[in-house]
Structures are given as C-alpha cells and as structure tokens.
Amino acid sequence: MLEKLRQQPSLWLVTKVASIFFIVCLIFILHRYYSFYASFDQGIFNQVFWNGTHGRMFQSSLSSSLSTNVVHNNEVPEVFYHRLGQHFTPALLLWLPLYALIPSPATLSVLQVILITAAGFVLYALARHYLEPPLAAAIAISFYGANAVIGPTLSNFHDLSQIPLFVFSLLWTMEKRKWRLFWLLAVLTLAVREDSGVVLFSIGFYLIISKRYPRIGLMLCTLSFGYMLVLTNAIMPLFSDDISRRFMIERFGHFTDKEEATTLEIIWAIVSKPGQLLGQLFSPFGDKIKYLLGHWLPLAFIPAISGVAWLVAGFPLLQIFLQQGESRLAITIRYALTVVPGLFYGAILWLAHHPKQFKPSFQRFWCACICLSLIFTLASNPSRTFYFCIPDSIQPWVYVSLPQQWHHIAQMRSLLAQIPPNVSVSATTYLVPSLSSRREILRFPMLQLRNDAREVVNCEYAIADLWQMQQYQAAFKGDRQLLLESVKLINQITSDRQYGMIDYADGVVLLQKAASTSEKANTAWLAYQNQLKAISLL
C-alpha cells in the first residue's frame, strides 16, 4: 500500500500533509479538552451521545437549560428534554456505535478531526476528476491550510463537522454520475442539521443555472427547500417551540417585530423588505469583506473570480450575511464550514478552465497564501486552543501559561474525583464536558432541574472554577460578572445551609447538598475572597 502511494507523488504529498494535519489537530484538540478549555457545547454533544447509548435518544438536560421554556418562561430544565426541537441532527446516529465503544467527550474530538481529515482526501479525488495530480494536490493542501477549516476543527465537537465530507462526496458522485450514491449523500447532508439543506439548495441552484443537470438541480432544490420547511414548521415544533421562539428571532429577529416567527414568516419578512435585505447583506461592509478574504486566502483568491464558487457557496453565504450577532462572521467557528465546499468546488472548475495559470510564479504566490492563512489561524487563537502561547488580551494583559494551567488542573482533579459518576451535578462552563456523561447535569449557577420522576430537585453536587473566571475577568466583562454572581451565590447557599462546602482548592469550590461545611474549606474560601478584595474584585 505504501509503495503504491509513493508511486503517485501528488497523492503521497497529500497523504503526508493530511497526516500532519491529523496529528497536529489531534494533539491540540485533545490538549484543549484535557486542560479544561473545551466548553459547554462539548458537554451538550457528549450528554446527547451518552444518553443515546442508554436508549434516550437526543435527550439532554444541558440543552434544556438553553430552551425557550427555560430562557423565556423561567421554567426548570428537564432531563428528558429532546434536543431535536433546537437542532434536528439524526446524522449523529451514524457515529453512536463508535461512541458506544469509547464513551468519552474526547472521542467526539477525535471523531471531528477524522471527519475533516477524510474530507480532504475526498476533495483530492473530486479535484482529480478535472485537474492534473499536482493541481489537485494543491487544492487539497489548501483545504488543510484554511483558517475556515482548522478553526472549526479545533473547536468543541459540532454537527457541521460532517458537512465537508458529505458534500465533497456528493459532488464527487455527481461528477461520476453515481446517482444512487448521490441521493444517499443528499439525504445524509439533510440529516446533519435542519439548515444544512441551504448547502444542497445552493448546489441545486448551480445545476439549474449552469444547465449541467437542470432536472437534478430542480429536484435537489425542491427536496432541500421542502425538507427544511416541513421540518422547521411541522416536525421540530412537536418537540419544543425553540425554532420559532428562540432561534429564528435570535438570528433573524431584525427582519420582524414579532416575538416569535416560523421559518416561512422569516423568509417572507426578508423577501418583502428588499431595502433592508440589501443593507444587511453589505453591512458592516468591512467585516464582510474581511470574512470573504479569509475564505479566499488559502485558495490564492481564485473563488473571488469563479462564478461557480459564487453560485455553489452563495446561499450558505447569504444565510450567514443576513443573520445578526457578532459571532456569525467569525471564520474560526463552525458555520464557516458550510461555505467551504462551494468555494473549493468553484476553484476546481476555474482551474480546470484556466490550466495555464498554474505557472511557477503563481505556485509560489499560492504557497505564500497558504502559509499566511496558517499564520492568521494561529494568531486568531481559535477556541482558545493556543491559550498557552497567545495572550487573550494585551491591554489589559490576560495570559495563562501552560505551567499555571496544569498546576491548576492538578489541584482541581482531587475535587472532581469526589463527585460520584451517577449523581446530579451543576458545574461551571469549562468543567461541564468532563462531567457530562450522566443523566442530570446543569451549568452553574443553575441548581434545579426536573428529573425522570417529574420532580423538581436541587443538584446533589455543585462545583465552580472561580480561578478560571478570575484569569479572564480583567478583559472580559462576562467573566467578571459571572465571578461576582458566583461568589455571591456560593455565600448565600452555604449560609442558609442548602449546600455545604466540602472542599476547596486553588479557586475551585466543591459543594454538596445538605452537607456540613468543612472548616478547612471554609477557611480557604474566606482567604480566597480576601484575595479577590485585595485586587478590587469584591
């Protein structure tokens, strides 16, 4: 096998680059998890998978804490809440057997790196349909060097990590006219998330406009658009009201004055206000140009002049550009992956029609672009993966060194070990993933949930890492506010004896319901509060 690979220099080069990508990403994403920088979403997906292995498909108390019933109606999170009301993600069932073999949040991180790495090989095969091996290899290497690929790969596990593999495979089957596989992959793509049909709709739109396969394109547009409408208007509301009361309003609420809206109502609100649509499409202009440049950079800006890239990536880009909120234009978060397949496919077709452009001077420019993309990726510190070498803030100075963090972890592990595996627990954001393989878990400061007996109960244990908040509070108001609220709540629930402080270490507090407070822990806790007062935090 190895000999055959070496006889194909371009494929061998792609294999070496993919191996480096896989190993480096795996090291960093696992280090991120084991050094307690994986956060809330990692815990949500792990609990969903863990519940799935116990026959409770797509249930999650962590997801329930974000539901409209909790956020808007002030209800108590439920352990039997079905996440399908927030995000319809049946494709995750494909990976449940793997998780069942190795049930751990780290398994999901490894799976994410595998999915993205595999997508690069399929991209190479897709490029080889049109391009000579060296050019196809350049396309695949660009994929592994893209900020929009590396950033989402190093983040918490997410459902959109399946998109590049499924969509590149779908495009490859289209080029090979393997229509049965094509439609299977179309269904798998739809099963990724309720809005992944936008990617398929864009491909169908391209097939119609280009007149390559207009009938297939029309079927694809009809299937994807119809699926999204039926799913979001008829099926997901059976589980909860989140799609209309929360997600549509949070993302597209600026197009309507209603407090809740269906996808049909949002679509009508958008198309009936062309002026606002155009304004939202181009504003803020600088940020959106910067976002596009980040996507184009690893491909030497080829997608910018490729009509196919604009068509195939057009609707996913439109979906991102029309949303509100700051994170939508962050190229290192998961939504960027929906744009990637269209841009790379467009670059392949442009190069197929302009093969003479691949001159030595252009090759050097392309190589420089990939290197620059890697530098920008490192500098952007996606999901704080490189926290130990890149400060989060210069003024004021916010930086956590590797020795600092690992010393803190060593202090914290003894407290985590005291929490039994099957009891209910409330934990701060960065402790949630490691404790999420259980039925009853919430994010601190939430303490109450509704259990399987439909009874509202307080969590048996609560653990809060205040040291982590303390490190970042100087530059981030959210961390400062949470730190102050957490200190106040801990003092309140221990003074009225709802909880007892059974242990304390390095700014981490372990509480147990109805327990007696340890004198040693209380003394250390008072000293820690004095330390916070000394730096004017309390």
* Residue-wise pLDDT tens digits, 366-414: 999 999 999 999 999 999 999 999 999 999 999 999 999 999 999 999 9
Model confidence band, residue 15 (pLDDT cutoffs 50, 70, 90): very high
Residue 452 pLDDT > 90: yes
| C-alpha distances out from residue 356 to 13, 136, 296, 351, Å | 22, 14, 20, 8
What are the backbone dihedrals phi and psi of residue 59, each rounded to the nearest 5 degrees, phi first?
-95, 145
**Closest by Cα among 225, 380, 175 to 297:** 380
Model confidence band, residue 2 (pLDDT cutoffs 50, 70, 90): low
The angle subtended at Cα 195 by Cα 190 and Cα 198, nearest 5°, is: 80
Residue 115 pLDDT > 70: yes
Tokens, residue 178: 């393997």
Model confidence band, residue 484 (pLDDT cutoffs 50, 70, 90): very high
Neighbours of 430 (CB within 10 A): 19
Tokens, residue 431: 């402790």
For the chain, what is the largest distance between any 2 Cα atoms, rounded to a whole number of angstroms?
77
Cα(469)–Cα(398) distance, integer angstroms: 11
Cα(102)–Cα(105) distance, integer angstroms: 9
Q: Looking at 248-252, 436-440, 476-480, which range is the least confident one?
A: 248-252
Model confidence band, residue 457 (pLDDT cutoffs 50, 70, 90): very high
Coil/strand/helix, residue 191: coil
The per-residue pLDDT for 262 is 87
The per-residue pLDDT for 11 is 92
* Residue-wise pLDDT tens digits, 316-345: 999 999 998 778 899 999 999 999 999 999
The per-residue pLDDT for 3 is 67
Tokens, residue 465: 């890492």
Domain ranges in the chain? Answer: 2-37+82-384, 402-534
The per-residue pLDDT for 166 is 98
The per-residue pLDDT for 305 is 97
Residue 280 pLDDT > 70: yes
The per-residue pLDDT for 250 is 86
